Structure 1
Amino acid sequence: MNHPITIVVLVDANRKTRNVALGKELASGGAGTVYQVAGEPATVVKLYHSETLRQVGKEYADKIFCLLQNAPSLPSSAAGIIQLSWPFAMARDVSGNFVGFAMPTLDFNKTESLECILVPKMAGQKSLRSDLGARITVAANLAGVVSAIHDKGHRIVDLKPVNLRLYRQELYVAVLDCDGFHVNMPGRAFSAPQTTPEYTAPEFQNKHIAEPEHQDRFALAVIIFRLLNFGIHPYDGIAKKNNAPTDRQGRLARNMYPYGIRPHGSIDPQHVSAHACFPNELRRYF
């Protein structure tokens, strides 16, 4: 269903304004809907649902304004590569009410969900490089983007493969849903309530994320472990005792990590795991 708003006013970080017409709907989620901008293929606009605006519209408006003022400085990349769906303008209706934001268009035809490279079979189906060199490159590129975000005081919190897009040829990684980040500004912090259990640190399972940076570091480590271990999640394993949880969340809550240098008492590594080939320094980091 099309949004009743067809014209929006974009207001950039310098408070310059311009009117744009919305094109077709591209995607819709729990908080809002993303539209093409007519005549501007490099720009999309996310309009928040009316219920979202009613409940938390003021918080989102303040958060987007903060993002405009504090955009990360990303590592250099190839021309035309978007590594962050970062807002570059607030969107208002013709009456001046906040309704969403504009961001650069990410080319979904040149990218795949990062999940696709994690499992070799899936990578083959998508004709993606999945050799170890490619995986190390992807891990380094992702770490660079996360570091740039952290340098500005922001935290991703819900960092997971489905929120990341991989450029098939260049192996750069794009981070989506930037308006869901934990955003810091002087005197105020905008929380990121969304989390995903299998990428949430043990100390935050079913709890408030008290240390967002610690959570990002944990989630990044899980993704890098999966990249280097061909899809195996670091809390997958073979139970040695009957009381060991069989699900990832249960093992995470009890911090049952079976791939350490010293064996775990209750759970063994997967037989096909390559973790024993990692350098000891990397194993200590994990």
Structure 2
Amino acid sequence: MDVYDGRGNSRQLGEQIGGGGQGNVYLVESEPNKVVKIFHPDKLKERGGEFREKIELQKGMTELAEHPHIAWPRILVFDQNHNPIGYAMKRVQGVPLTKLAHAKLYERFFPDLDRIKIVEMLLRLLDVVAALHKNQVYIGDINLENIICNPQTFQPYLIDADSYQVKKDNKVYRCPVGRPEMTPIEHHQKDFQHITRTVESDLFSLAILMFQCLMIGRHPYDNIGGGNPVENLRNASFPYGKGGARPGYEGAIPKGDWYNIWSHLTYEVKGLFIQTLKDGVKQPLQRASIADWEKSLESYFHAMQKGYNTKEMKPKDPKQSQNS
């Protein structure tokens, strides 16, 4: 399959290396460090003329287009009839965080993983998110699948950047996708295409993702007998910290070794999770900032360098813990 740039120059696509609800990602045969995302026709139709406007805007955001850890749109791609069908971006390689934040799969895909490496990865992720926020870009659809990580260096990379919310003058190009279990309550039961994301909404979703990484896949709003994570989120049923239900009772932390993993986090890190995921559920301005997280995780990182609980991360019975 051939695709074309704005000047009519063609490139032949190679193997498909990824895909999802929005489109598929292909290698470029003549340029191994570049990939192209081709959108499904129905998704292009949904976006209409805004698709081309948004990609053109993004490719002009030089700081982010050149960022080494974001697969940012760089070239608008056309079919032979000069209809926009996708975009080209730098190729980044890694394993989705779904494999890291999983009580069994992480040993296969991240064999050298320990708690200090998770914290190192999260600190690097915070740097990338800070670069986006500096440019008034909000991710919106933050989840374990659209962040990948190099298993050797533990460097995270952000993908699916075409969905991010960007702004030019008074026009906002919104993030049209999301997941309720990762979305702050102020945006629930609304069409994602009409939601304007904010720093605070990103901070909430980011806290959930960091919790999942540190807790090896456990969602912060999982608890005993309390419904699904979306229902618990809406009820601010965060079972960790003081005042939670007694172990084994309704509303408590699920069965497994999760309490021990939680207890080995530092006081400051636990405090930021409580501040964001309990106190900040209905109070967006209460949510911990990027700077707050960087300070607490850096302290945690340095403590572990001196031998503080670097191995305390694995549930004793992963199968039981995942399915409880």
- Residues 1:283 and 2:266 are matched in the alignment: no
> Which deviates further from its counterpart, 264-273 or 250-259?
264-273
**Cα deviation per residue 1:1-51 (whole Å; 9 max; x = unaligned)?**
xxxxx333324xxxx774322233333433323222221111111222333
| Distance in structure 2 (CA, Å) of the matches to 1:246 and 1:186 | 43
Q: Provide the aligned length of Structure 1 versus Structure 2.
A: 264
Q: Is the 8 A contact 1:72 1:151 kept in 2?
A: no
Q: Is the 8 A contact 2:244 2:252 kept in 1?
A: yes
**Cα deviation per residue 1:193-249 (whole Å; 9 max; x = unaligned)?**
21112211233232354543222111111111122223322112234xxxxx32111
**Structure 1 pair 235–26 and aligned structure 2 pair: CA distance change class (3 A):** same
Q: Is the 8 A contact 1:238 1:268 kept in 2?
A: yes
Match of 1:193 among 176, 201, 205: 176
2:86 aligned partner, one-letter code: G
| Distance in structure 1 (CA, Å) of the matches to 2:30 and 2:95 | 25
**Structure 1 pair 74–189 and aligned structure 2 pair: CA distance change class (3 A):** closer
| Distance in structure 2 (CA, Å) of the matches to 1:98 and 1:230 | 40
**Structure 1 pair 74–121 and aligned structure 2 pair: CA distance change class (3 A):** farther
Correspondence 1:172-191 to 2 at 5 A: 172-191=155-174
- Residues 1:68 and 2:52 are matched in the alignment: no
Paired position in structure 1 for 2:209? 223
Which of the pair is proportionally richer in strand? 1
2:251 aligned partner, one-letter code: I
Paired position in structure 1 for 2:298? none
Runs of 4+ aligned residues of structure 1 deviating over 6 Å after TM superposition are none
Q: Is the 8 A contact 1:25 1:34 kept in 2?
A: yes
| Distance in structure 2 (CA, Å) of the matches to 1:248 and 1:53 | 32
| Distance in structure 2 (CA, Å) of the matches to 1:165 and 1:284 | 27
Q: Is the 8 A contact 1:8 1:91 kept in 2?
A: yes
> Which deviates further from its counterpart, 119-128 or 259-268?
259-268
| Distance in structure 2 (CA, Å) of the matches to 1:184 and 1:259 | 37
Which of the pair is proportionally richer in helix? 2
- Residues 1:258 and 2:244 are matched in the alignment: no
Deviation at residue 72 of structure 1 after TM alignment: 4.2
Paired position in structure 2 for 1:145? 128
Q: Is the 8 A contact 2:224 2:252 kept in 1?
A: yes
The secondary structure found in structure 2 opposite 1:35 is strand
| Distance in structure 1 (CA, Å) of the matches to 2:136 and 2:124 | 19
Paired position in structure 1 for 2:47? 56
Percent of aligned pairs sharing the same letter? 25
- Residues 1:116 and 2:99 are matched in the alignment: yes
| Distance in structure 2 (CA, Å) of the matches to 1:25 and 1:7 | 13
**Structure 1 pair 92–214 and aligned structure 2 pair: CA distance change class (3 A):** same
Correspondence 1:1-286 to 2 at 5 A: 6-11=1-6, 18-73=9-64, 83-107=69-93, 111-207=94-190, 209-239=195-225, 245-263=226-244, 267-270=251-254, 272=257, 273=259, 274-286=261-273
Give the alignment's TM-score, normalised by structure 2: 0.73
**Structure 1 pair 55–120 and aligned structure 2 pair: CA distance change class (3 A):** closer
Q: Which runs of 5+ in 1 are unaligned?
A: 1-5, 77-81, 240-244
**Structure 1 pair 46–230 and aligned structure 2 pair: CA distance change class (3 A):** closer
Q: Which runs of 5+ in 2 are unaligned?
A: 274-324
Deviation at residue 171 of structure 1 after TM alignment: 0.1
**Structure 1 pair 75–145 and aligned structure 2 pair: CA distance change class (3 A):** farther
> Which deviates further from its counterpart, 67-76 or 49-58?
67-76
Deviation at residue 252 of structure 1 after TM alignment: 0.8
